[in-house]
Amino acid sequence: MNHPLPDICDGILVDEAAIHTRVEELAEQITREYAGERLHLVTVLKGGLFFVADLCRKIDLPVSLDFMAVSQYTKGVGGVVRLTKDLSDDIGGASVLLVEDVVDTGLTVNYVHSLLRAHGPARLEVCTLLDKPARRIADVPIAYRGFTLPDRFLVGYGLDLSGRYRNLPYLATLRDEAVLG
Ligand code: IMP
Ligand code: MG
């Protein structure tokens, strides 16, 4: 199906082919580096859904999946992150890879990482499709990253603006008017 660029966007930053090539590379690296382990992928809804669905199908290991959800409230300078959906499976002793769509300020991944850590996994690393380091406040080591990008607001491949545009197969930048409006 054809997905023309929405009016609110001014360009495609990462196209569908580039995403799929990079996802395959990450999956190959993860397959090598988790060989012999039973990999448990934990993804933060909703943005990470598209990435993890493609990634896990390219990982040649026994994998299981679980999902969490968080919401963010911005109060003053820092953000506050709250858990809205907890894990379904016990991760004690497991090899857990936290799969994120984007790490921006790092507050979300930092919060989720510390929750997972508290459950005592044997191994815990972070895989993010996108790393936007410009606004980083909280630092969590990123073991696998798809693309390092400048500080632009993006939609597509899981990323939304007010709940929309997640289903675009590419990553598009928003026009300045759309970010403000
Ligand atoms: P952080 O807590 O600031 O690292 O932000 C992480 C969350 O902010 C992501 O999981 C997204 O939901 C959202 N986010 C950050 N950058 C973008 C973007 O460019 N487009 C859409 N959502 C974004
Ligand atoms: Mg979001």
Pairing of strands 39-45, 63-74: parallel
d(CA 56, CA 23): 9
**What value does the mean pLDDT take over residues 4-9?**
95
Q: Which residues line ligand 1 (CB under 6 A)?
A: 47, 101-109, 153-154, 159-160
What's at 83, amino acid-wise?
L
Q: Find the 35 Cα to ligand 1 centroid distance in Å.
A: 31
Q: What is the pLDDT of residue 2?
A: 75
Residue 137: count other Cβ atoms within 10 Å of its Cβ.
Answer: 12
Chain centroid to Cα 78, Å, comes to: 20
Alpha carbon separation from 114 to 25, 70, 110 (Å, rounded) = 27, 13, 6
Annotated active-site residue 66? The verdict is no
Q: What is the pLDDT of residue 80?
A: 82
d(CA 111, CA 115): 6
User: Which ligand has its closest atom nearest to the C-alpha of 147?
Assistant: 1
Q: What is the pLDDT of residue 74?
A: 65
Q: Which single residue is written with the structure tokens 């857990």? A: 96
Q: Which single residue is written with the structure tokens 């497991």? A: 94
Both tokens of residue 135?
């606004």
What is the Cβ-side half-sphere exposure of residue 50, based on CA atoms within 13 angstroms? 21
Digit-coded pLDDT (tens) for 14-69: 999 999 999 999 999 999 999 999 999 999 999 999 999 999 999 999 999 999 99
Nearest protein Cα to ligand 1, atom 12? 47
Nearest protein Cα to ligand 1, atom 11? 102
Q: What share of the chain is helix, strand, coil (3-state, %, to 5)?
A: 25, 35, 35
* pLDDT bracket for residue 180 (50, 70, 90): low
Q: Find the 160 Cα to ligand 2 centroid distance in Å.
A: 6
Digit-coded pLDDT (tens) for 54-112: 999 999 999 999 999 998 876 555 668 899 999 999 999 999 999 999 999 999 999 99
Digit-coded pLDDT (tens) for 113-171: 999 999 999 999 999 999 999 999 999 999 999 999 999 999 999 999 999 999 999 99
For residue 107, give the ligand 1 atom closest to its CA.
2
Q: Find the 152 Cα to ligand 2 centroid distance in Å.
A: 14
**Nearest Cα residue to 55 out of 113, 4, 97:** 97
* pLDDT bracket for residue 177 (50, 70, 90): confident
Q: What is the pLDDT of residue 73?
A: 73
29: left (phi over 0), alpha (psi -120 to 50) or beta: alpha
Q: Given the residues 104, 139, 151, 160, select the one marked as catalytic.
A: 104
